[in-house]
Amino acid sequence: MKNKVWLMTATLLLFTAGCGKTDLTESKINGDEQKTIESREMEETTEKDENASGEKKTVTENENTESQENGESYTWKDVTLQFPENWKDRYVIEEDENGFTVFQRASYEKGNGMGYLFGILKDTEWYPDAAGVSILGYTDDGVLYELAVPTDVSCDVENETVLNEYQKMMQQSDAIVKNVKIDAGNLHMDADQYIIPVSMIMTLKTDQLVNMSDNDLWLARNEIYARHGRGFSNEYLQSYFDSCSWYEKSGEPDTFDESVLNQTEKDNLKVIQEAETAYADEHPYPKEYKTGQKIVADINGDGREEEIRYDVKESGDYAGYFCVLTIDGTAYELCECAAMVTPETECFYITDIAEYDNSLEIAVLDDGPSADYVTYFYRYDGNTLEFVGEVGGFPFKEQNDGINGFTGQNGIFGTIRTDILETAYLDGYWWYDSGARKLEYMDDGVHKYQYFTPHKLYVDLPLWKSMDQTSDQVTVSAGQNVFFISSDAKEWIYVRAKDGTEGYIHVDGENVSNVGRPGTEVFSELNYFD
């Protein structure tokens, strides 16, 4: 077994979503055999002393790095990076047989591995749960090139100048990594567009999947079929894979020939299906029930089951509806807590937002004034019914094209509406505060589009590589289809072209700042509500 040291320090947010997930990573450094490559020349005496000790080899800048007009180029085995010019004399690199790690010099010189920015590692095993791990690329013979980023601030926070420099270098690290060059045969650089990039070449183990959500397992199972061009009757699945640069639909689901799957894929389908079954057994909620149906469930955790019934009736007056929840014979009019505009009359749910406590919640659905769906949650403590809060959309598989919005760990993914460039629905996140017994909306600045619509480009479109209008750009040619993948729901949209080119557009009112033209002159098929 390899000696692995896990460095878990500052978060580098990769603002991408759809076609897989971007996780953070772990850095594997063999401390007994590490060598240091510094970005500035060291004194000759220091180099001689360190080489003689056999503990650390110091390599001067010119030995592994090459000065370029726009910065320094660094090569480790078959991996090459280009550092910005303003990084000169500001970074240090540690390397071993597994890879290398880049540090901020000002923090690194204080010791204890401070200043950790990122690392690139070469491996032959897939670690889905490693903190801070994502795959940059992989080869057909199972070699993985992994990105390692910190999960907490790892610099001299007491020195404001050093801290500011570290934060700027972290922001630039994303662009550096995205431009990495790997000299390997049969290399795939679209790993971030897969849930399990290696499902075609590596046999999965049960313990590799135990911490994956039911949504990720569902997508991972279907991406095995999608690799071979299968079409999908599920609208979400079809739009999801359409947005992946590697996907080309070649047939309908009922005509798909499973003989095209290799044995590794067939074995992995079974492993994933078993994991899905195990997840469903371990997470029985939410459960759907019919309105007017009397059910029994221990919803307050006192060991005794309550009798529960939900009824929706038209009132015949201005109020519109009576939405009555009856628990152990006591009736509660829900419209007194929440404005039920067009309540769903067919069903309601028992949920378990926080699986570690003993209480369950009752959820009722409302279509809203104009298909602005909302779910209302209530909690019963044995004596009174409390309004917990609301979540945009219907976060239930039956109502949401197979997507489960419940994390089981106090979180719910619902929907928010945006009118940036077009009207669309994005993922929103609500957190259940167990102390206050309330749901709170949490905005982390990254929202995945609910569905991915192809937009044909009318003009050449330069994309910024980060949410910065001074950052480097890459251009997508007119005539291509592009997809809106995620947004900050304010002014930035992350775009992916069908050829795999990705980057950001900035929206100023109706205009796309990248080209200074209205969105309708740049993209086809923009949708507008109301």
Residue 500, in any domain of the structure: yes
Instruction: Answer yes or no: is pLDDT of 26 > 80.
Output: no
494 or 337, greater pLDDT: 494
Q: Which tens digits make up the pLDDT trace of 446-489?
A: 999 999 999 999 999 999 988 999 888 999 999 999 999 999 99
State whether 404 and 262 are in the same domain: no
State whether 75 and 44 are in the same domain: yes
Instruction: Answer yes or no: is pLDDT of 46 > 50.
Output: no
Q: Which residues contact 273 (CB under 8 A, 6 or more apart)?
A: 221
Whether the upstream peptide bond of residue 286 has omega within 30° of 0, thus cis, is: yes
State whether 291 and 366 are in the same domain: yes
Secondary structure, 3-state, 96-124: CCCEEEEEEHHHHCCCCCCCEEEEEEEEC
- What's the chain's average pLDDT? 86
Residue 428, in any domain of the structure: no
Q: Which residues contact 395 (CB under 8 A, 6 or more apart)?
A: 375, 403, 404, 405, 406, 412, 413, 414
State whether 308 and 256 are in the same domain: no
Q: Which of 241, 262, 282 is the last residue of a domain?
A: 282
Number of domains in the chain: 4
State whether 400 and 468 are in the same domain: no
Q: At what angle do helices 235-242 and 214-226 cross, to 10 degrees?
A: 60
d(CA 80, CA 88): 17
Strand partners, 462: 475
State whether 128 and 177 are in the same domain: yes
Q: Which tens digits make up the pLDDT trace of 413-433?
A: 999 999 999 999 999 999 999
Q: Which residues contact 272 (CB under 8 A, 6 or more apart)?
A: 204, 209, 217, 220, 221, 224
State whether 278 and 292 are in the same domain: no
Residue 28, in any domain of the structure: no
Residue 445, in any domain of the structure: no
pLDDT on residue 201:
93
Q: Which domain holds residue 260?
A: 196-282
State whether 201 and 258 are in the same domain: yes
Residue 421, in any domain of the structure: no
Query: What are the tokens at 54?
Result: 């056999």
Query: What are the tokens at 9?
Result: 């320090």
Q: At what angle do helices 214-226 and 263-282 cross, to 10 degrees?
A: 160
Strand partners, 364: 376
Residue 87, in any domain of the structure: yes
Q: Which tens digits make up the pLDDT trace of 56-76?
A: 333 334 456 554 446 889 999
State whether 341 and 480 are in the same domain: no
- Token pair 């080119």 is at which residue? 501
Residue 21, in any domain of the structure: no
d(CA 486, CA 493): 6
Please report, for the domain that includes residue 275, its CATH number: 1.20.58.1690
State whether 332 and 252 are in the same domain: no
Instruction: Answer yes or no: is pLDDT of 32 > 80.
Output: no
